[in-house]
Amino acid sequence: MVIQIRFFASLRERLQLSDCSLPFEASMTVEQVWSKVTNNESLPANLLCAVNMEYVSLQQVVKAGDEVAFFPPVTGG
Amino acid sequence: MKWPFFHPSRGAEMHIEIRSEAFEPYHEVQVYQEKIQATGQYGATAVFVGTMRDFNEGDDVKGMALEHYPGMTENYLKMVCEEASGRWSIIDSLIIHRVGKLWPNDPIVLVAVWSAHRKDAFEVSRYLMEELKSKAPFWKKEFLADGDRWVQHNTPGY
């Protein structure tokens, strides 16, 4: 059982990582997912995160099979 | 009375599309309007078109690359259109947004809203644009004479 992680835009370029996966662990929050995949890098200011394509807070608990995404402030339109 | 108690739209239609090729927004509005079933029902159409400039923050911009989060972007815009149909009385809404490489003067986004009366069309087109600019997962990278840079944030439109 794993969770999928995706990065977009400037964050993807800086981390040189567009997607990866992590073994699922019970009670893991989005913030803990960030720490694991970035080797405890501090949280960027204004970081946005989504689980299964919906905005969530960093305290959201993830489930097995979830897709977690991290990205910078949006700049469309 | 305030939302959700006033004039929710009944069965409002919507169409959301992400395009990777250039499009002509006024042609899209015309073609889409010809397909709207509610002929005679709408009295107001509000159209917003966002176009790429050749300058930003004091620099010449040669072009840009627009990235999005496929799936989440469409879901988010659909949710905002549905929310708007509950708060205002609208008949139809159309959103087309570009991704990929763009050049100055290329249309970036089209938002068109049809309603019986102008208040709803004006307010919903503005609402959809502001939600899109502040929350829909798109990102712009500008091509400048001396390199590329990510646009850091959008400014509020209100």
Reduced to 3 states, what is the DSSP secondary structure of residue B134? helix
Q: Which of B23, B31, B29 lies closest to B45, judged by CA? A: B29
Rg of chain A over Cα atoms, rounded to whole angstroms, equals: 12
Domains identified in chain B and CATH numbers: 46-150 (3.90.1170.40)
Q: Which of B71, B108, B150 sits opposite A77 (nearest CB)?
A: B108
pLDDT higher than 90, residue B11: no
With contact defined as beta carbons under 8 Å apart, do B25 and B107 qualify?
A: yes
DSSP state of A53: T
Region of poorest pLDDT, from A55-69, B2-16, B20-34, B76-90: B2-16
For B54-76, what is the mean pLDDT?
97
| Cross-chain Cβ contact B153/A73 below 8 Å | yes
What pTM value is reported for the model? 0.94
What's the length of chain A?
77
- pLDDT per residue, tens digit, chain A (77 aa), is 999 999 999 999 999 999 999 999 999 999 999 999 999 999 999 999 999 999 999 999 999 999 999 999 999 99
Domains identified in chain A and CATH numbers: 2-71 (3.10.20.30)
Looking only at the bridges linking them, the beta strands covering B100-102 and B63-68 are: antiparallel
* Confidence (pLDDT) at B4: 43
- The model's confidence at residue B8, banded by pLDDT at 50, 70 and 90, is low
Interface of A with B (CB under 8 A): 6, 8-10, 13, 46, 48, 50, 53-55, 69, 71-77
Paired with A71 in beta bridges are A48
pLDDT higher than 50, residue B132: yes
**Contacts with B75 from chain A: Cβ below 8 Å:** 53-54
| Calpha distance B87→B131 (Å, rounded) | 14
Amino acid present at A1: M
